[in-house]
Amino acid sequence: MAMDLGSVMIKMGVLSASDDSDHMSVVSINLFVALLCACIVIGHLLEENRWMNESITALFIGLCTGVIILLTTKGRSPHLLVFSEELFFIYLLPPIIFNAGFQVKKKRFFRNFMTIMLFGAVGTLISFTIISLGAIGIIKKMDIGDLETGDYLAIGAIFSATDSVCTLQVLSQDETPLLYSLVFGEGVVNDATSIVLFKAIQNFDPGHADAVTVLKFVANFFYLFFTSTLLGAFAGLFSAYLIKKLYFGRHSTDREVALMILMAYLSYMLAELLDLSGILTVFFCGIVMSHYTWHNVTESSRVTTKHAFATLSFIAEIFLFLYVGMDALDIEKWKLASNSPGKSVAVSSILLGMVLIGRAAFVFPLSFLSNLSKKSPNEKITFKQQVIIWWAGLMRGAVSIALAYNKFARTGHTILRGNAIMITSTITIVLFSTVVFGLMTKPLIRFLMPPSAKHLSRDLSMSSEPPSPKSFLSPLLGNGQGSEVETGQNVPRPTSLRMLLTAPTRSVHHYWRKFDDAVMRPVFGGRGFVPFFPGSPAERSVHALQ
């Protein structure tokens, strides 16, 4: 009888704890939904503000909410404030990156592809090297805790991940198309490269490093990079072929939209399952879908998908900044680092200095190298534009925080002083760079590039698609398909080194366009190869000609 009574009480206790957990979940959801609405309204009211933007607004609202929660809970940190890397990588990041690829103006993106890859891949490696060496040479001697060489290498990857959202909100893709495409493209490739680097470091043992080990590390990095890209392209092509052959639009446009969303998310999760880079996979899946799949669906599905992807991305981004702002006041990790406040401030200052130096170490040299391949003065990166590109990459965001938690606190908190210092230093740098550098972004760009000095894009007439709703990362909207080679313009050949760098890029693009029209589009669909079935864009075009 006593045992029965005890078991009943245990069950009642479990149910009570479950009810409390469910209640907290409901409270958290209500709070975040209300805050999302507040961010949208306040962001709209501050649209014309000279200093503020929606990302900083969401961050401030998150911080204020965290303060209120701490005061009402008398200094305790509820689970509402704990940053969840699973929530970030599994639910928030995929729609943001996919929408960036889906909405990209491919002509402008691939015209500057070599420069973007220089900044995003090579530049990230340079920044990673400088930050890692600085951490090993300076921070390691400060005796902040039991950190190994692999941890300092991970620090280099963590702080190589940029967050150029604030700059993209200020720049105009119509008025400064070159600058916008470079900042946007570098940001996406940079995040992917940083995460690929981070994953490669996880499998790298610096204690037994030799020439063969280093070569394996480099080979693993490129394997992850290219395999992730190919997986994303395959997922996009498969969705295009499936929708083209099965004619989903005959019966239900909802099936078309659902299949596109699920195939995109499946590509990301499959990449994570295979330990690849989900960012690269879903980004190139978005590019391929916009080039083939999007043209195979009905006209109503086209409008729906563009608005749906942009809206999901918009909500995820606001939620992300709210989350970062609220997590910054998780009191537990600050208590662990408070025993060494001087060292914590010193570590943050050193890392921020390394970020500034590492960014400058590749932006200006690689810009000079890129300018050698440009024939037209309008295509060259001016010194003022280089300063803006350098500034755009100084801000750190949620990717850095997520990687820091992955490395130094897998369970959401840590009991080691060194790990706590690294996490609090990451949060400090993210807050400082987002708020201080973010607030100075608009005045800096207006000072360096006043409205009278901006030139309208020559590519406005090339855009073949209507713009989608505004998003933090709705870059390069439209999908211009034309090129100078296709329009029959005679492009004079540059000479010397510029000829070596420029000519292969244009000839590769030219042959790709021929291959695309002859082989890819007849199989996978796309503009000009839309399947004919009731309700399709092809049927409307036929009736329009009759």
Q: What is the pLDDT of residues 21-62, one digit of tens each?
A: 677 778 778 888 898 898 888 888 877 666 676 778 888 888
Q: What is the DSSP code string of 65-129?
A: HHHHHHHHTTT---GGGS--HHHIIIIIHHHHHHHHHHT--HHHHHHTHHHHHIIIIIHHHHHHH
Least confident of 341-350, 365-374, 411-420, 513-522: 411-420
Count the alpha carbons within 13 Å of 409 in the hemisphere toward its beta carbon.
25
First to last CA, the chain: 87
Angle between helices 278-288 and 93-102 (to 10 degrees): 40
- 272 C-beta neighbours (distance < 10 Å), count: 16
Residue 132 pLDDT level (bands cut at 50, 70, 90): very high
Distance CA 102, CA 96 (A): 10
For domain 85-452, say whether CATH 1.10.150.530 is its number.
no
What is the mean predicted confidence (pLDDT) over 166-184? 78
Are 437 and 395 in contact, with CB atoms under 8 Å apart?
yes
The residue with greater pLDDT, 205 or 254, is 254
What's 461's DSSP letter?
Answer: G
- Mind listing the pLDDT tens digit for each residue in 429-448? 988 888 888 888 888 888 88
Residue 78 pLDDT level (bands cut at 50, 70, 90): low
